[in-house]
Amino acid sequence: MLNGLNWKPTLVSRDMRFRLGPPLALAGLFLVHTGTFAQSIGPLKTALDPILDASPMENAWWGAVVVDVESGDVLYNRNGGRSFVPASNTKLFTTAAALDLLGPDYRWVTNVYIDGNVVHGELQGNLIVRGSGDPSIGARYSNGDPTHVFRAWADSLRRAGVRVIRGDVIGDDDVFDDVPYGEAWSWDDEQFAYAAAINGLPFNDNVIDVTITARRTSEPGNVSWEPDRTDYVLIVNRTITTQLGTRLKEGYKRRRGTNIIELTSEVPQGRTDHESLSVHNPTGYFVHVLRQTLQREGIAVDGRAVDVDELSIRPQYSNPRYRRIASYQSPPLSVIAETVNTESQNLYAELLLRTLGVEMPLQNSGNRETGSAEAGLQVAQATYLAAGVDTSRLQLVDGSGLSRKNLVTPSMTAALLQYMASHEEAAVREAFIGSLAVGGQTGTLAWRFVNGPEVRAKTGSLGNISSLAGYVTSQSGASLVFVLMCNNYTVKQSVIRRAQDRVVTRVATWH
């Protein structure tokens, strides 16, 4: 039994990826994975087709594949070789490559430097934070205290005798490129947490967490936000308290290219409205809050909070003048991957993808920056090739799935899932499967499959797009991979999700 799924894995050597040749050569070796096999016939087709063909979903475009993990037998195939927009099922590709290539024990390290001498308690220079793309600095991994790491750095400075910083607090995000959003992301998503800007020095998921509490009817709500009501943002409170029992109407708007946030929610008496909203220039956010925290911790700062991009001369860390004074190490990748897949955390997925490009740069990367999405995707091809995916037909442009330019086939996803379930390294296998939401218990599946079959899976949702892919244990004890993708439907998403759940439940009862 492995993370609730029982199978005897068929091991695939990681060295295969360097011996199998170009993508087209793989097609002949992995026909089941490239979608060249025929549509299903037999018992599962008879059981599943009516579910996917049911009214009112006749105009929806369905792709589905079911594979036996141990034998590799394809038990069901419906448009398995056709391309679909996968939405957040893209995260399966991102986390699989990261765990496969970096290992589940990989950790990000963020270092803090000073570039001057400490004389009589005064740092006669700047404090510089060199980012590594670490997703974990903020509230999520510090018991709800977003500034936990910053306060630890203040302790390190005090131990070094620093009481005053005469220079600036500088944030260096140059580990990644300066492209803040994925290719073809929707511009009107930018203000929300799920589309937070990408950078090499993230903090608190690059969001502020806003709470609006109702007061008396017709009065503005009481607004607070974390971390520490930071003045990096300007909150414009246009909220209103409505009568008890009325409907909560949410309203938020961040003016594009600014940190001016207007709140227009209508909050009934006795209710609160919680929302996480993205910030503009998250590197500036990081050092702004760090500077505020240092001052609260008793370390005076004369200079400003500065994004490294504002400097004409970048820090030269090889120069003896630069001395490391503190650092922070993230939780292991296995923990971060679980957040990515269980909660469908988009920013973390994008940081994972870019980290691949930084940690495993390729000599033939051309003009791609190592910290770019393109570089990370090029590195990730090694995992996809080892899984038997025909990469000549795979189109990925981001790590999270927010882009509608991502195109994968159900059979590619099934191949990846089978490869990870049969991975020769037990730690990688367990970390990947353990990263997925558990039906009826955790994350995006907490309210699905309640009292249902034993499911670990990843959801995927965009407008008129819904995916579900993962593992289910059948009544006979077999471990099965399933992939369900639906594009271009016009019914409510709940209708599609119910159909997906019925399919998985039926697969689980199949002998």
pLDDT tens-place string over residues 368-400: 688 999 999 999 999 999 999 999 999 999 999
Q: Taking 80 as the threshold, does the pLDDT of residue 401 lie above it?
A: yes
pLDDT band at 362 (very low <50, low <70, confident <90, very high): confident
Alpha carbon 86 to chain centroid, angstroms: 14
| Bridge partner list, 192 | 277
397: phi then psi, degrees, rounded to nearest 5: -125, -10
Question: How much of the chain is in helix, strand and coil states, percent to nearest 5?
Answer: 30, 25, 45
pLDDT tens-place string over residues 253-312: 999 999 999 999 999 999 999 999 999 999 999 999 999 999 999 999 999 999 999 999
With beta carbons less than 8 A apart as the criterion, state whether 429 and 423 touch: yes
pLDDT band at 40 (very low <50, low <70, confident <90, very high): low
**How far lies 219's CA from each of 130, 216, 238, 400, 477, in Å?**
45, 6, 10, 40, 59
pTM of the model: 0.92
Range of lowest pLDDT (43-47, 192-196, 289-293): 43-47
Per the structure block, which two tokens stand in for 23? 């993508």
Closest by CA position to 7, among listed 422, 339, 386, 331: 422
Q: Taking 60 as the threshold, does the pLDDT of residue 5 lie above it?
A: no
pLDDT tens-place string over residues 302-352: 999 999 999 999 999 999 999 999 999 999 999 999 999 999 999 999 999
| Bridge partner list, 475 | none
- In eight-state DSSP terms, residue 187 is G
**How far lies 207's CA from each of 131, 137, 199, 448, 503, in Å?**
17, 12, 13, 28, 37
Rounded to whole angstroms, the Cα distance separating 169 from 439 reads 45
Per the structure block, which two tokens stand in for 147? 């500034």
pLDDT band at 12 (very low <50, low <70, confident <90, very high): very low
pLDDT of res. 41 = 56
Place of tokens 């009214």: 55
- Mean pLDDT over the full length of the chain: 92
Q: What is the mean pLDDT of residues 173-195?
A: 97
Classify the phi-psi angles of 99: left when phi > 0, otherwise alpha if psi is within -120 to 50, otherwise beta.
alpha
